[in-house]
Amino acid sequence: METMLLFEELPIMRYEIRNPAKNETRVHLLTEAQEKDPKYFRDAETNVECDVISSELLADWLLLNYKNYGI
């Protein structure tokens, strides 16, 4: 049995962001300070605003999805 240690108060958010101009989806892991910076929510090449598909605490996402990645 494997043991996994995870800090509940990990201050990182996981954003799944879709770029409508390129029709691609990316994942960003952002700190609270980075969340306030609009550059993470725009495409650098086309300057198009991206759509946020989902956002949740990284710790919560890891707890729900760790089995999908062989951990």
pLDDT tens figures, 16-36: 999 999 999 999 999 999 999
* Res. 69: pLDDT tops 90: no
Q: Which of helix, strand or coil describes residue 51?
A: strand
Look at residue 3 and tell me if it is in a domain: no
In a domain, residue 41? The reply is: yes
Question: Could you tell me if residue 18 is inside a domain?
Answer: yes
Q: Positive or negative, the Cα torsion across 7, 36, 45, 51?
A: positive
Would 50 be classed as within a structural domain? yes
> Could you tell me if residue 2 is inside a domain?
no
- 52 vs 62, which has greater pLDDT? 52
Determine, yes or no, domain membership for 6. no
| pLDDT the model gives residue 4 | 61
CB 17 within 8 A of CB 28: yes
The mean per-residue pLDDT over the stretch 6-14 comes to 82
Residue 71 has pLDDT above 60, yes or no: no
Domain interval for residue 58: 12-69
Query: Strand, helix or coil at 1?
Result: coil
pTM (2 d.p.)? 0.81
Total number of domains in the chain: 1
